[in-house]
Structure 1
Amino acid sequence: MNDMINKSEFILGVDGGGTKTIARLENLHTGQQWLATGGSASLTNDFDLALQHCKALVAELCAQANCSSTDVTAVFGLAGAGNKEKATEFKCSVVADYKNVNIYTDAKTSLYGANEGNPVVVVSLGTGSVGAVLTADGKEIQIGGWGFNVGDEGSGAKMGVLAIRAVLSELEDLGHVESILAQAIVSKLGGDQNNVLAWSTSAKPSDFASLTPLVFEYHDKCCVARNILMEHVGHVENLIDKTRSNYQLPVILLGGLSIPTLPFLNSRIKSMLVEAKGNALDGACLLAKKLTQIQITGCVIHGN
């Protein structure tokens, strides 16, 4: 079978995370681009919602570009795509809609976008967390990225869990909230401290992640917030060290939580860091362009 694939007029890259999804459609002949954003697209947090959000974004972009999705070669980089069953189910749900399509982890698209497809270590910190390596010989390795229930240490969602635990601990020990952080969280959740546990049992990862700005805001005036922040930083440093391992490669931090976390990292970690040349959306588009020319068969460890 010939590995070469006829060039498609349009390529689509999708970056779907636990909080939001960004999609970019590009006409390869004219260079014109269209961008759209929508809700979360994590296959393991809410598969049906992820599929719904992705389909809505693609429909919006195709309407803007006046094209059919069957003219499009697409790459979806989605949170939770490390779950092969979910990734396969998603691909089966959309494969007929496109000229060609592949589903990858958002770790892979971040990896290819961060250094324009060149060797690098990438650690992404957002609602979830994951590390990945692209070696000089083209090998791809993923560390973490197992999802909220069993992993994601160093993520916004897990920092939010630490914050809620602190609130519940104060309620248990004191009968009321006392720390500045706990008071701020109770206020954010409606002002009734008795509702904290009920909120936590139904909260999604993105809900927990929404508490992280409070931890950063109060870390210099509240020891509870400071302790949570330092525990978070420790998880991030461990993820960076584990991902980089013995590879003498530059490290790029990506994700919305990377910017506020960066100042608190130790000097050894900071010395490894370089600026990103692109993001996960750029990586998805790069892989989509490759897919118009040659069938991609490689896969990331425990992911596509």
Structure 2
Amino acid sequence: MLTRFIMGIDAGGSKTAGCIQNTETLQSWRATTGPASLTTNLSLACENIKNLIHQLLAETQCNANECSLVCGVAGAGNQQNVAILKSHLNDNFQHLLITTDARTSLYGAANGEPVIVIAIGTGSVAMRLDNDNVEKQFGGWGFNAGDLGGGAYIGRCLVQYVLTKYDEDNHCYEEITLQTLSKIGTKKPDILQWLAEANATDFTSLVPIVCKYLKQEKNDSSGVAYKIMKQAAMEIDKLIQLAQTGQHYPVVLTGGLASTIYPLLDKEHQKNIIEAKGNAVDGALFLARRF
């Protein structure tokens, strides 16, 4: 049976984007909604993805059984969570594939050509498509033990620095510390409450503070911001090195922090970085066309 529509979803820790395309006319419709990470908030992720899919189907007046859907979602390495998401998407799609957002980014970045994609958003992960068309993932272990160099990691580094300053007897704080305390609390009970409830998205919400002071002329706060962001860049350097395994594949940086991290990377790694030909939604559509 001919697939009349293909749909691609990119669901991450910060936002979810989707596109549905008519395979005959090539007309496309796009929509976005809130975060959808299976590891951060499973129920919210399922709800946001389901609502976005239904919105796109309604806009095109398309039935699910006329559509092939590929959903790339953060946390899809956990098959139990994938099964729960599938149970929420109980529509009778012609084809349905739930995979990692790293994999959809991989196929979108170079239209299926050999490449390494480093996604730097709430978390961090590398995916490689090698010369034999073999896919392999590096990193992406989640906030508790991985995602080094990503937004949540940067936010946690900032909080760690601020808490060290908070514990000092001399409460002479830089602006970056004061602004962070205004977000997480200025009293110890408030800070402890914030820490008890904070997840990867909450830590990532502090990244704009680091970016703000990173752009300023040299001062105490900009120095702190630079050290934190440089530390994150060094973790991304390690991830690139790991994914190359002695080869020289082109590298694409994706995600909301890609442009911020790039200038701080090792110069040799910068030489291999190319512009992406597409994004994770494009990659999901690419995979959907192969059904």
TM-score w.r.t. the length of structure 1 is: 0.89
Please state how far the C-alpha of 1:93 moved relative to its aligned partner: 3.4
> 2:147 maps to what in 1?
152
> 1:27 maps to what in 2?
22
Distance (Å, rounded) in 1 between the aligned partners of 2:25 and 2:172: 59
Given the alignment of the two structures, is residue 18 of structure 1 paired with residue 16 of structure 2, yes or no?
no
Q: Which amino acid aligns with 1:61?
A: L
> 2:246 maps to what in 1?
246
Q: Given the alignment, which residue of 200, 205, 220 partners 2:200? A: 205
Q: Which amino acid aligns with 1:145?
A: G
Cα deviation, 1:143-192, whole Å, max 9, x if unaligned, reads: 011111111001000100011111111111236461221112123446x3
Q: Which amino acid aligns with 1:52?
A: E
> 1:183 maps to what in 2?
178
Q: Percent identity?
A: 38
Count of residue pairs the alignment pairs up: 285
Distance (Å, rounded) in 1 between the aligned partners of 2:62 and 2:91: 16
Distance (Å, rounded) in 1 between the aligned partners of 2:57 and 2:119: 29
> 1:136 maps to what in 2?
131
Secondary structure of the structure 1 residue equivalent to 2:290 = helix
Q: Which stretch of structure 1 is more off in the superposition, 151-160 or 63-72?
A: 63-72
> 1:262 maps to what in 2?
262
Tell me, yes or no, if the aligned pair for 1:168 and 1:197 is still in contact at 8 Å: no
Please state how far the C-alpha of 1:142 moved relative to its aligned partner: 0.1
Given the alignment of the two structures, is residue 281 of structure 1 paired with residue 281 of structure 2, yes or no?
yes
Secondary structure of the structure 2 residue equivalent to 1:249 = coil
Q: Which amino acid aligns with 1:283?
A: G
Given the alignment of the two structures, is residue 7 of structure 1 paired with residue 6 of structure 2, yes or no?
no
Distance (Å, rounded) in 1 between the aligned partners of 2:233 and 2:16: 26
TM-score w.r.t. the length of structure 2 is: 0.93
Distance (Å, rounded) in 2 between the aligned partners of 1:271 and 1:95: 46
Secondary structure of the structure 2 residue equivalent to 1:121 = strand
Tell me, yes or no, if the aligned pair for 1:16 and 1:79 is still in contact at 8 Å: yes
Distance (Å, rounded) in 2 between the aligned partners of 1:260 and 1:248: 23
Cα distance change on mapping 1:290 and 1:95 into 2, 3 Å:
farther
Secondary structure of the structure 1 residue equivalent to 2:89 = helix
